[in-house]
Chains A and B, each alone.
Chain A
Amino acid sequence: MVPLLVGLPLGVAFCVVAMAHVKALSRLIAPLAIGIVLVNLVMALSLLGAGDVHVFVGEWGPGGTLGIELVCDGLSKLMAVTINLVALASLIFAGAYMRRFTKVWLFQALFLLMTGAMNGVVLAGDLFNLFVFLEVAAIASYALVAFGCESEELEAAFKYLVLGSVGSAFILLGVTILYSLTGQLNMAKVAAMLPKGPAVLLAAAALIGGLSLKAAMVPFHAWLPDAHPSAPAPISAMLSGVLIKASGVYAVARIVFNVLGPSSQYATILIALGVVSMVLGMLLALGQDDLKRLLAYSSISQAGYIVLSLGVAAQLMVGPRPDRVLAGLCLFGGLFHLFNHATFKSLLFLSSGSIEQQVGTRQLKEMGGLGRRMPVTGFCCRIGALSIAGVPPFNGFFSKLIIIIALAMAGGVFPAAYVLCAVAAAVAVGTLLMYVKVQRYVLEGEPSERVAGASEAPALMRVALVILAVICMTAGLAMVPLRECLFGPAADALLGTAAKAAMGVMP
């Protein structure tokens, strides 16, 4: 079943291209795409109960263990559920939003390619397969950002393409160096055979540099504020919600924890990247007048929270007495924030898309009073804004609280964590500020003449918004059962390096 998670969207993407040329079948494309992503989500949820799954595609060699390995451990399951959930909501939204474009079948095909490839990234068990799926997802997203073919979208997509390709070149360089050092590509085997020395640091630098570019960490973030606003709203939601996480943050976590092994150099780099991204993203977002650009900068800031918690967890696992419990708490906070950010950021981007469609502008100063004119969209936008600002009882509050508490407790192990805790709390206040600004300009106040005629968005768009809003409302309160089945195994998968090295090694 695990290869189907990747193969089904990829295969159906090609079927969609074929179906589009047959008049009778072309009306089935949108429901087919939504159905396939729904099947994917159900498969991902059903895998939650089973333990770690290893599939060797090809099954050559003695005992069938020679082949490309697909690994579905706790972290992969969490990411698969997140990716397919956000993809489902975006695709439902796109059913109504994409009516303004022609050749919508191209959008469906590219979207399915991107989703299938992202599933492949989180399931990949060896380094080169990770790179290939990363590239497939990235190329599909470059084309999707440029989908409208207006001048702004092309400019943003070109910038994204150039910077993304530079990042990919460095990732391949890092994989090359690791291969030359160990002769293996399988992640578990590379981890077991990794030598010490400066060559590993060079590989790590190339990999973390390239992946930080994919994750839009400052100073590699320059493509994100142009690409995310210019893309069509469902693509902005996918990019900001899952692509920077699946191809950036997930890959960094996997490589630093499971392949290279946590050490204080990598931990310091991750902490530095996280802190700078958090602070700069927040500061740059506060001054924005364009709604989607503000959301894009805020994505950089929230991704910084996740990378910061990864770095602190890595630092806690270093040394003669690694503190597994505290590192597990840090990772729980970071991964919970990853899941939450995927839901509320995609909710915010989708609601900004429906606002943009009904009102015709993205500038904050030209909107106003939309809370009354568009009740469902306004309500969902308010839930998203309150969640990301960290207001109880929504999910953002719980994940930020856990991160801050874990940082404060980590201060007992290394004192710099107290400073990090203060910075995280300050950035949370800044995030609250920027979303109060969003709510004030968008939802409250008097409607200007420009937006006076706005009406509610079509039904399909409202359905997608409500799905995500319900998850925002319940995920925080359901934190304890979610920890048991989703986040606990994910944190264990990252921390249990001894168990990881034992898997996939030939008897």
Chain B
Amino acid sequence: MGIAIYVLAFGVLLVGLYGVVAKKNIVKIIVGLLILDYAVNLMLVLVGYRSKGGAPILDVAGGQKPAELAATAVDPLPQAMVLTSIVIGLGLTALMAAMAIRLYEKYGTFDMNRIRKLKG
């Protein structure tokens, strides 16, 4: 199981990259970017995974010691990083959607090949 999940996450990254590079429709490019962000967040969470690990919450009532928790729990730092990254992605998505709507108002189309006033 070990390496296969990382390879799959990398595959999702490549799918997202394909969406950004090869698609002509602006909405599809945005979805490709979302998939790319998703794949990187997935890799970040996978880095913290520990097989048969528990949630990183100290069970004070049950008398768990901090050292025990550190030895058995999943790493919480990537989870915190992923939350930040998801929120950054949220802001970007909102900005992208707003820009796509305004682009449609200006150009009348979502086709990248026809949104091409800037050349050279």
Question: With A162-B29, A166-B17 as given contacts, are A179 and B47 in contact (CB-CB < 8 Å)?
Answer: yes
Interface size class of A (residues with CB under 8 A): 35 or more
Question: With A155-B115, A165-B33 as given contacts, are A149 and B102 in contact (CB-CB < 8 Å)?
Answer: yes
Question: With A162-B29, A176-B40, A179-B78 as given contacts, are A155 and B118 in contact (CB-CB < 8 Å)?
Answer: yes
Interface size class of B (residues with CB under 8 A): 35 or more
- The answer to whether B40 touches A151 (Cβ under 8 A) is no
Closest chain A residue, CB of each to CB of B88 = A135
Q: Give the distance to chain B from A175, nearest Cβ to Cβ, in Å.
A: 8
Q: A residues within 8 A CB of B84?
A: 128, 132
Interface stretch, picked from A93-101, A139-147, A323-331, A471-479, is: A139-147
B58 at the A interface (CB under 8 A): no
Q: Give the distance to chain A from B47, nearest Cβ to Cβ, in Å.
A: 4
What is the bound-complex CA distance between A172 and B106, given in angstroms?
Answer: 34
Q: A residues within 8 A CB of B92?
A: 139, 161, 165
Q: B residues within 8 A CB of A149?
A: 102
- The answer to whether A226 touches B103 (Cβ under 8 A) is no
What is the bound-complex CA distance between A152 and B37, given in angstroms?
Answer: 27
Closest chain A residue, CB of each to CB of B26 = A158
- The answer to whether A226 touches B95 (Cβ under 8 A) is no
Q: B residues within 8 A CB of A155?
A: 103, 107, 115-118
Closest chain B residue, CB of each to CB of A174 = B40
Q: B residues within 8 A CB of A146?
A: 99, 102
A408 at the B interface (CB under 8 A): no
What is the bound-complex CA distance between A226 and B119, given in angstroms?
Answer: 8
B96 at the A interface (CB under 8 A): yes
B 49-64 contacts with A by CB, 8 A: none
Q: B residues within 8 A CB of A150?
A: 106
What is the bound-complex CA distance between A152 and B106, given in angstroms?
Answer: 9
A157 at the B interface (CB under 8 A): yes
Instruction: Pick the contact of B95: A132, A142, A166, A293 (CB < 8 A).
Output: A142
A265 at the B interface (CB under 8 A): no
Q: A residues within 8 A CB of B17?
A: 166
Q: Give the distance to chain A from B101, nearest Cβ to Cβ, in Å.
A: 10
B81 at the A interface (CB under 8 A): yes
- The answer to whether A154 touches B106 (Cβ under 8 A) is yes
- The answer to whether B117 touches A151 (Cβ under 8 A) is yes
Known: A150-B106, A158-B115. 18 other contacts (CB 8 A): A128-B81, A142-B95, A149-B102, A151-B103, A151-B117, A155-B115, A161-B92, A161-B96, A161-B99, A165-B33, A166-B20, A169-B16, A169-B36, A169-B37, A179-B47, A179-B77, A225-B118, A229-B118
**What 10 A-B pairs are tightest by C-beta distance, nearest first?**
A151-B106, A180-B47, A226-B118, A176-B44, A169-B40, A135-B88, A172-B40, A169-B36, A158-B99, A154-B103
A-contacting residues of B (Cβ < 8 Å)?
Answer: 13, 16-17, 20, 26, 29, 33, 36-37, 39-40, 43-44, 47, 77-78, 81, 84-85, 88, 91-92, 95-96, 99-100, 102-103, 106-107, 115-118, 120
Could you jot down 23 A-B contacts, CB within 8 Å? A128-B84, A135-B88, A143-B95, A146-B102, A155-B107, A155-B115, A155-B117, A158-B100, A161-B92, A161-B96, A161-B99, A162-B29, A165-B36, A165-B92, A166-B36, A169-B13, A169-B37, A169-B40, A173-B13, A176-B47, A229-B118, A288-B120, A293-B120
